[in-house]
Chain A
Amino acid sequence: MTRHLLSSADLDREQTEAILDTAASMHDVQRREVKKLPTLRGRTIINFFFEDSTRTRSSFEIAGKWMSADTINLSAKGSSTSKGESLRDTVMTVNAMAVDALVIRHSASGACQQVAGWVDASVINAGDGTHEHPTQALLDAYTLRSRLGPLDGRHVVIVGDLTHSRVFRSNVITLRTLGARVTVVAPPTLMPSGVAAWSASDGFATSWDLDDTLYAGDPPDAVMMLRVQRERMSGGFFPTAREYTVGYGMTRSRLERLLAANPDAAILHPGPMNRGLEISADAADSANSLVLDQVSAGLAVRMSVLYHLLASDGSQAAA
């Protein structure tokens, strides 16, 4: 296994599947009365969050604690200028405490990769700017696999603000690694730069038309709705929330039409949801919604990631 988890591309198919398989045994631990495993006893994990996060941080924290690691949460306001303490100084201070792993969330793309070049600890990317969020992609894949079985040939549609989404960037890698077919949907202003060349070389499809993607011949097995920040409207990426919902929201009518074609279609959302904007309450709360399964899977997947990166080589999953 790799020393760091910075990008979903750090994991090949075998490694991705190993993490998901171990996560399945970890998931069983969650249902036990006593949830602690001794696996990471004596190890120190620092959750270093330069950007606010509730669910990802608590998920990593609980995962570490259930593995018996000493976990400490640190938060620092990301420096947005070149004044103040440098990122390197901030991180090296922590590195000097001989920690085993740094779980890092940062508002700047690439920050985790930079940190990995400086420190001795394993670095786990818990979301870097608009770049990647590999454990989110793993938990999404875990959730989908639990519902659909192997993902080979399955059609997954990702809809929303792709430009600013680290969830999209990691998911498209992990889903392709596991053999799924991926179509990404967004208005042209929310498509990442150069997506035509990118999608061609990485083997996924792009579309500006959600209805066309959902209903024209290749019904999706899963639809992942991404969070759209209302602030994007002030950046002129789209005119109004209402118009966005009409074009790209998982509305009740879209959900009904989707389920008519494929009653088992899964709905995912990485959270936090803007109900009424990119996803209707009907879709979020339907039997087809896997939103809470995603949260639950997050714990198991993060335990598995910690295990694979930190537990000494050759030992078995202790579940």
Chain B
Amino acid sequence: MRGDLLITGAAPLGGDPTDVLVRDGWIASVGRIVATDRPAGVDVLDAEGLVLLPGLVDLHTHLREPGREDAETIASGAAAAAAGGFTAVLAMANTCPVTDSGEAAERILDLGRSARLVDVVPIGAVTKGLEGEQLAELGLMARSRARVRVFSDDGRCVQDARVMRRALEYLKPFDAVISQHAQDANLAGPRACCHEGELSGRLGLPGWPAVAESTIIARDALLAEHVGGRVHVAHVSTAEGVDVLRWAKARGIRITAEVTPHHLALGTELLVGYDPTFKVNPPLRPSEDQEALRAGLADGTIDAVATDHAPHARHDKEHAFVDAAFGMLGLETALSVVAEVMVQPGRLDWAGVADRMSTAPARIAGLPGHGRAIAAGEPANLVLVDPRARRTVDASASRSLSRNNPWHGRTFAAAVHATILRGSVTHR
């Protein structure tokens, strides 16, 4: 499985085609190798016409194990991740039990290692049980074998400003970051599930106003500035949110942000049929927000793309819209969506994709082995992308155990061809 590998004719970051020789999990050389000079016994991966990128890193996945292994396991989620071109995924803490101790974090790490398809990196809870009150064992998680550097109560925004301030402050010695699901719970209301606007009014669905996101981003930015901490905005979804980020970055605040493929590409109008497949938190937003998110991702105001891959058992989605579970699948389709909305219109080149989907998220998460340059001496965590593979998404063919796939039936013009983790081909 981990023999030597010669990738021929691939275009690193979309540049000039070349050959990449991988040995013992590391890149040994980058440069054309004449056929007669090929090392004996090497596996050859013909990559003519393919783009070579550093393996993708997902700052935001829900793998559901432990607790909801009927919806996803670490093994099935890892397979979906490898199929999507990822070599590292950060697993959110809202499992059952919650990842709020060093032991729980190490268990996730070990389950990920035994899947051997992708590096599964646990995210730790900010507060015990995600309750928003008492700090979880942040230091023990950071000092554990899992070396937790990203903390989040995802789905349950840390509401109390004092708790958030203390957490940001306490994590400074670890240079860790809090990934905040920015949602003022009181302002949005307990049933919020549709972008607040004309459509929520017409559909009679509880509105989720943009201002419930932007005000938390502003608050957290100022808290991070106040204590000198690091905050990361999970799945920013609104134009106002992007504006606040731009302001905070200009001010020198240590703030980063991610956007999901679905917020880049899918609009609130999909809720017209009340199909819970499209129910996600934060909700799908109008086209003006999508445009602001694309612009923010292009100019770097938004640092990274993250999937918020959220598998759910069928019966948790087949409720009335307001009662159904939030979330949608995303690991297998992320690269194709980004290619469609960012690369094809010329808003990002492949080097830009490598930055937003690999280098930046690896830097934010503190993963030294990922998001590296494609150069001799670097770890061979790589993805080959076929920029001209027309592929139609079939929800039933997913590696995920769940089928809440909003992309079903869509045809994309680019697809992941192969994924390589430390020299091993994890998907082809």
A residues touching B (Cβ–Cβ < 8 Å)? 78-82, 86-89, 106-111, 113-114, 117, 128-132, 163, 166, 169, 192-195, 197-198
Contact = CB atoms under 8 A, between A and B. Distances in A.
A132 B204 contact: yes
A180 to B, nearest CB: 19
Contacts of B196: 193-194
Contact of B200 (A108, A132, A194): A194
Contacts of B203: 109-110, 131
B340 to A, nearest CB: 28
Given A193-B200, A194-B199, A194-B201, A106 B207 contact: no
Interface stretch (B228-236, B243-251, B318-326, B367-375): B318-326
Contact of B320 (A108, A195, A198): A108
A220 B359 CA distance: 65
Contact of A194 (B197, B274, B323): B197
A109 B199 CA distance: 12
A113 B199 CA distance: 16
Interface residues of B, number: 25
B37 interface: no
B325 A111 contact: no
Given A86-B315, A113-B274, A106 B201 contact: no
B188 interface: no
Contacts of B202: 169, 192, 194, 198
Interface string B307-351: 000000001101111111100000000000000000000000000
B273 interface: yes
Contact of A89 (B198, B318, B322, B325): B318
Nearest to B276: A114
A82 B325 contact: yes
5 nearest A-B residue pairs (beta carbon): A194-B198, A110-B274, A108-B320, A192-B201, A131-B204
A114 B204 contact: no
Contacts of B201: 163, 192-195, 198
A190 to B, nearest CB: 12
28 contacts: A79-B319, A79-B323, A82-B319, A82-B323, A87-B318, A88-B315, A88-B318, A88-B319, A89-B315, A108-B323, A109-B274, A110-B274, A110-B320, A110-B321, A111-B320, A113-B274, A114-B275, A132-B204, A166-B204, A192-B201, A193-B198, A193-B200, A194-B197, A194-B199, A194-B202, A195-B201, A198-B201, A198-B202
A89 B323 CA distance: 14
Given A87-B319, A108-B323, 12 more contacts: A86-B315, A86-B319, A110-B274, A110-B320, A131-B205, A193-B198, A193-B200, A194-B196, A194-B198, A195-B201, A198-B198, A198-B202
A226 to B, nearest CB: 14
A109 B204 contact: yes
B320 A87 contact: yes
A90 to B, nearest CB: 10
Nearest to A200: B198
Contact of A110 (B198, B205, B315, B316): B205
A79 to B, nearest CB: 6
Contact of A108 (B199, B273, B321): B321
Interface string B81-111: 0000000000000000000000000000000
Interface in B157-202: 196-202
B323 A113 contact: no
Nearest to A235: B189
A86 B318 contact: yes
A244 B203 CA distance: 26
Nearest to B316: A82
Contact of A193 (B197, B319, B321, B322): B197
A113 B393 CA distance: 26
Contacts of B319: 79, 82, 86-88
A169 B203 CA distance: 9
Nearest to B205: A109
A70 to B, nearest CB: 27
Contacts of B276: 114
Contacts of A106: 320
B322 A109 contact: yes
Contacts of A110: 203-205, 274, 320-321
Contacts of B200: 192-194
A107 B323 CA distance: 10
A311 to B, nearest CB: 28
Interface centre among B201, B316, B325 (most CB of A within 10 A): B201
A147 B274 CA distance: 37
Nearest to B321: A110
Contacts of B324: 82
A88 B324 CA distance: 11
A129 B316 contact: no
Contacts of A108: 320-323
A80 B197 CA distance: 24
A108 B199 CA distance: 16
Given A114-B274, A194-B197, A197-B198, A78 B320 contact: yes
Nearest to A110: B274
Nearest to A132: B204
B2 to A, nearest CB: 42
Given A82-B323, A113-B274, A194-B198, A130 B316 contact: no
A195 to B, nearest CB: 6
A209 to B, nearest CB: 20
Nearest to B315: A86
A169 B199 CA distance: 12
A87 B321 CA distance: 10
A116 B401 CA distance: 27
B289 to A, nearest CB: 14
A47 to B, nearest CB: 18
